[in-house]
Structure 1
């Protein structure tokens, strides 16, 4: 949809949005360092400090709470040479169904908050990723004393709306797909710098419309340290997804009786992060809080909710949208409200035909708790081109 100009410095691409999220976006847009405007994505909804689905360009400052506590959270998808017919033939030949594959995935990748890897030697591709992160931490003077088990966190999923899925696209080609971020170590980094920003703004008697809009100013030691640690956490999140995908691929190949998973395409993208970009004729720090990079030709993944379709997209470079696009369906109801409204039986009905762990603990992730992904994608038609539409046949979630 064409953006709605909410005021001079706020453009809204969402046809369905709650008043609270709009109010948060207006607060963010009122900050004096915004340039050229804030863009509200089609999946925008109420968040902490600023709405999830807000793209925030800032001159000379960064707002740590706007980046959020799951630094670098995002998606990774891999297209394979396998097809639905190959999967069906394998089940027919072995009698081993998708339930067994789901259990193998759950054994290979630690799920849920606080669950880490018991050792670092189970997979041959893990050591190189850890070595890269260790080297970067030394070079950039990243303080990881708060997270002595960060290495064990690499290759773990987390909980909430994080997931792992086996999907089929519009040609019935098999995709491996998952959603996760920087885990506990990213959270610790974020929480520290949010507190630093709030303390410094308080010391300088800066009046904020919301304390979670506290910012760090370019050229200060605190800003420099945040950017170094932010970049490290973003890289951790990227490699965390890559590690899980490597394990997922190995497990899927073994289940298929193949030597490898026959990867033909890989997309790995953040949707909670900050980086330097040029918008409105100026260099800004662009924070995508629940949004993906949609510069012309850039590929990204936009997931639906549990039990609904997801999309592989290519950016159109829309300047009004700050070369960004939505990161998913966006919540309609809080987790508490979803549990009040829906039951495990409702979830079973919505997940019919999909292999998943049947548990009441996932009721708050029911598709009905989210916006219709078809509406979100219709609103995003000026931001991205859809390349592939995915439907899941296996879903794995942490609690």
Structure 2
């Protein structure tokens, strides 16, 4: 029997209202009734539409029914934070600013919070601090994920002698320049064709409809701020059974960027919705959440996952173009999200684990933790430490705001640092100077019981945006 395929048009024709219920119904039916006939499925959907209360508690169909039952109006009362917060384990507390500690303390007091952790690269952000990890019960916090949904690291390792980077520096510089596009709002003249752009959610979720064309034109591009694409030296001292790469030195291509305008628009829209539904004290307002049993929560969850897939596709497009230029395919690739929420089982309970600027570090899970444009990054293997909610830092972390960096770091000092480490910088401003970051070696020592280091990456030719940061970015 052919796999079930539903269209939003089909549901509208039988009376389903415009809104989240259509995409939710399509997802559930195509997953749980994929071997049923179209007629059988449409008959079930009609019955739910006529009497949704009868299906409210159904294990499978209940979520559809709940979207069709009239909702009570929100009374607008302020939600009171718990007096005592849930347990939060802090790693490398000596490196963490007070503002980040205070933000994590607020998050721990949310009624939906179960447990939390703070990574050694942590610093203040919006909602959760950067480097914050929070497990919640059936609730997702848009600003607990962040604006750049699915921000991601991706490393391609090539069996090419890294000495060729110095011997052919102009060639490798040209390859980076010709195959990357950086900057807030930047997009290609021609839209890209990719399966992620054809995802049916672009037709079913209102906020996504208007973003599809821009997403197609931005696919394969990188943002501003700390996003980069760079060539460097991959050093493997001994073979690891999970990484499965022989000891030696290799040429590496490392990229860092996220879901571009798509993720930012999703975050802004659903944060607005969450704040309207959950009135929190002013100091905790950016921690407003959406319940996954309500339409808006499920809608955000679907959109968030789409943005994560899109971020991954952007990296793969960049790496594929550069691999084609090099005339070689990578012998391995390591990648990970670090601005996302996952459903995970903790102590026998399914929780939503937000990692905002934190690397997943489950048992034997590989990831990348970068340093700065001159400091090494590390290929790591998670230990699955329960105290950190199986997480680690997502980088060295800022010790200086962008404004402070631009006011205190000179171009000469940046040039001296680049020369000292043999790094060629294309773009990249003073706000991203290595001086603005914590010592990655100290950060790694503070989490040596969270991850094992299985390789290192040393930047050599670094491409970044280089335009001055926007006003809203300067404090981050």
SS in 2 for 1:297: coil
Aligned ranges 1:78-157 → 2 under 5 Å: 78-87=156-165, 91=167, 97-120=168-191, 127=193, 130-137=194-201, 141=205, 143-147=207-211, 148-157=213-222
Is contact 1:161–1:365 with CA below 8 Å preserved after alignment?
yes
Q: Which moved more, 1:361-370 or 1:98-107?
A: 98-107
User: Could you say which residue in structure 1 is the equivalent of 2:21?
Assistant: none
User: Could you say which residue in structure 1 is the equivalent of 2:38?
Assistant: none
SS in 2 for 1:336: helix
Matched, 1:282 2:349: yes
- Structure 1, unmatched stretches of 5+, are 1-5, 92-96, 121-125, 254-259
Find the aligned partners of 1:85 and 1:365 in 2 and give their Cα distance. Answer: 26
Find the aligned partners of 1:119 and 1:348 in 2 and give their Cα distance. Answer: 36
User: Could you say which residue in structure 1 is the equivalent of 2:251?
Assistant: 174
User: Could you say which residue in structure 2 is the equivalent of 1:47?
Assistant: 125
Q: TM-score, normalised by structure 2?
A: 0.74
Find the aligned partners of 2:174 and 2:286 in 1 and give their Cα distance. Answer: 40
User: Could you say which residue in structure 2 is the equivalent of 1:123?
Assistant: none
CA RMSD of the aligned region, Å? 1.8
Q: CA deviation at 1:32?
A: 2.0
Aligned with residue 13 of structure 1, among 82, 91, 94: 91
Is contact 1:164–1:179 with CA below 8 Å preserved after alignment?
yes
Q: CA deviation at 1:21?
A: 0.8
Find the aligned partners of 2:302 and 2:342 in 1 and give their Cα distance. Answer: 12
Matched, 1:396 2:436: no
Is contact 1:146–1:188 with CA below 8 Å preserved after alignment?
no
Aligned ranges 1:1-399 → 2 under 5 Å: 9-14=87-92, 15-35=94-114, 37-87=115-165, 91=167, 97-120=168-191, 127=193, 130-137=194-201, 141=205, 143-147=207-211, 148-170=213-235, 171-202=248-279, 206-207=280-281, 209-251=283-325, 253=326, 260-352=327-419, 353-357=422-426, 362-399=429-466
Is contact 2:383–2:450 with CA below 8 Å preserved after alignment?
yes
Q: Deviations over 1:211-253 (max 9, x none)?
A: 10111112111111111111111110111111111122223x1
Find the aligned partners of 1:143 and 1:362 in 2 and give their Cα distance. Answer: 33
Find the aligned partners of 1:140 and 1:264 in 2 and give their Cα distance. Answer: 39
SS in 2 for 1:65: helix
Find the aligned partners of 1:340 and 1:181 in 2 and give their Cα distance. Answer: 28
Q: CA deviation at 1:209?
A: 4.4
Is contact 1:102–1:356 with CA below 8 Å preserved after alignment?
no
Is contact 1:276–1:284 with CA below 8 Å preserved after alignment?
yes
Q: How many residue pairs align between the two structures?
A: 367
Find the aligned partners of 1:138 and 1:334 in 2 and give their Cα distance. Answer: 36
Find the aligned partners of 1:181 and 1:105 in 2 and give their Cα distance. Answer: 18
SS in 2 for 1:188: helix
SS in 2 for 1:274: strand
Shift of the 155–142 alpha-carbon distance from structure 1 to 2, 3 Å rule, reads farther
SS in 2 for 1:238: helix
Greater strand share, structure number: 1
- Structure 2, unmatched stretches of 5+, are 1-83, 236-247, 467-476
Q: TM-score, normalised by structure 1?
A: 0.88
After TM superposition, what 4+ stretches of structure 1 lie above 3 angstroms from structure 2?
85-88, 138-143, 206-209
